[in-house]
């Protein structure tokens, strides 16, 4: 009798398991569909982001909402670049999709399981909150090519404050160009079977769309209550650390002038 009852319950259990898998499959299918979207390098409002940094890995990939340079050696992007305007963020409460590997990275981006029980957050480089003009744009940020290991008290603390301030400036200055990533240099700690590197520093570089102002931030990977202006450095300094030329398409004279600047006082903190 007990055996017969188990036989009756087994199909129900199987159905529940299949339903769970089905939900995940649908989520994965939706986010993978964004990987096949057209319009590489095209951003909100139909504008074209034309300030791609150089790549030390030679692997630059364009999506609808951002571009990135993937480093297979470190199993993450060395930079993610995008245009940010007030049209890109909103109060929309999108359902968070699963993190999935990036179908556009031929060498395969790191599996999300590398982060499991690692003690590190799956930290977005292009924040999901910066891509709320549509669900498709939002979902793109959950490819593992757009994440990096971050301590929770850093990700939810000083780094989150900087992301919020970036959105404030995007609105105040009618749009900014953003380039962000971890400094992938030196003998870095790694996590997971694929040895995903844990950066010791993260950087964020902003330039107003009118190309009149530029500012760089270099933030140690640890919790901090210091004001954000304490982390400002010249873009030249970040270029020396990373080996990346962040705005190579700017006229040389303008590039040199903007990238050597260290004065943060013309930015509204």
At 154-207, the pLDDT tens digits run 999 999 999 999 999 999 999 999 999 999 999 999 999 999 999 999 999 999
Supply the pTM of this predicted model.
0.84
Paired strand residues for 202? 182, 219
The span from the CA of 12 to the CA of 18, in Å, is: 10
- DSSP for 25-63, written as a single string: HHHHHHHHHHHT-S-TTB-GGG-B---PPP-SSS-EEE-
- The second-level CATH assignment, the architecture, of 2-259 is 3-Layer(aba) Sandwich (3.40)
Kindly list the domain boundaries of the chain, sorted by start residue.
2-259
Per-residue pLDDT at 52: 86
Q: Give residue 168's Cα distance to chain centre.
A: 18
Catalytic residue set: 124
Reported as a single tens digit per residue, the pLDDT across 37-87 is 333 343 333 344 567 899 999 999 999 899 999 999 999 999 999 999 999
């Amino acid at each position: 009798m007990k055996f017969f009852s188990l036989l009756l319950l087994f199909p129900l259990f199987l159905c529940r398991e299949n339903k769970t898998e089905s939900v995940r499959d649908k989520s994965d299918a939706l986010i993978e569909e964004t990987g096949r979207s057209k319009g590489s390098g095209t951003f909100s409002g139909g504008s074209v982001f034309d300030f791609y940094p150089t790549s030390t890995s030679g692997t630059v990939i364009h999506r609808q909402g951002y571009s990135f340079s993937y480093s297979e050696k470190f199993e993450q992007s060395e930079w993610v670049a995008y245009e940010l305007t007030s049209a890109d963020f909103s109060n929309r409460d999108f359902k968070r999709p699963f993190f999935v590997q990036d179908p556009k990275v031929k060498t395969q981006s790191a599996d999300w399981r590398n982060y499991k029980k690692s003690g590190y957050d799956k930290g977005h480089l292009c924040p999901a909150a910066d891509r709320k003009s549509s669900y498709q744009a939002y979902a793109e940020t959950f490819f593992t090519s757009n994440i990096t290991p971050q301590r929770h008290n850093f990700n939810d603390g000083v780094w989150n404050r900087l992301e919020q301030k970036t959105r404030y400036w995007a609105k105040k200055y009618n749009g900014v160009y953003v380039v962000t990533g971890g400094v992938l240099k030196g003998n870095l700690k790694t996590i997971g079977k694929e040895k995903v590197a844990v950066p010791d520093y993260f950087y964020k570089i902003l330039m107003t769309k009118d190309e009149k102002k530029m500012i760089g931030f270099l933030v140690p990977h640890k919790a901090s209550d210091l004001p954000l202006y304490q982390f400002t450095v010249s873009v030249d300094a970040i270029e020396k650390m990373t080996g990346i030329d962040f705005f190579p398409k700017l006229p040389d004279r303008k590039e040199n002038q903007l990238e050597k600047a260290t004065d943060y006082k013309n930015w509204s903190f």
